[in-house]
Amino acid sequence: MKARLTFDLDDPDDAMAHKRCIHSTGLALVIWELIHNSRKCENIDDMHELITQKCDENGIVIDDLIV
């Protein structure tokens, strides 16, 4: 089975959908890390640091995927 996605990168909505698609694996890895390692965090600052670290490691810039 094959699938082909086509995006019009001149269209802002399509460009955003394209960014989200190409970063989906990185986002999944960040979520996996949070699920399996968040218990190590002792406070909200530790949790924030873990989220920031894992996003950086996976090339995820949340503002680029939301705004």
Dist CA 37 CA 3 (whole Å): 34
| Per-residue pLDDT reduced to its tens digit, 24-65 | 999 999 999 999 988 989 999 999 999 999 999 999 999 999
| Per-residue pLDDT reduced to its tens digit, 11-30 | 999 999 999 999 999 999 99
- The two structure tokens encoding residue 62: 């949340």
Nearest CA-CA partner of 58 in 18, 33, 27? 27
Task: Give residue 67's pLDDT band: very low, low, confident or very high (50, 70, 90).
Answer: confident
* Confidence at residue 50, expressed as pLDDT on a 0 to 100 scale: 93
Length of the chain equals 67
Sole residue written with tokens 């001149």: 10
* Confidence at residue 21, expressed as pLDDT on a 0 to 100 scale: 95
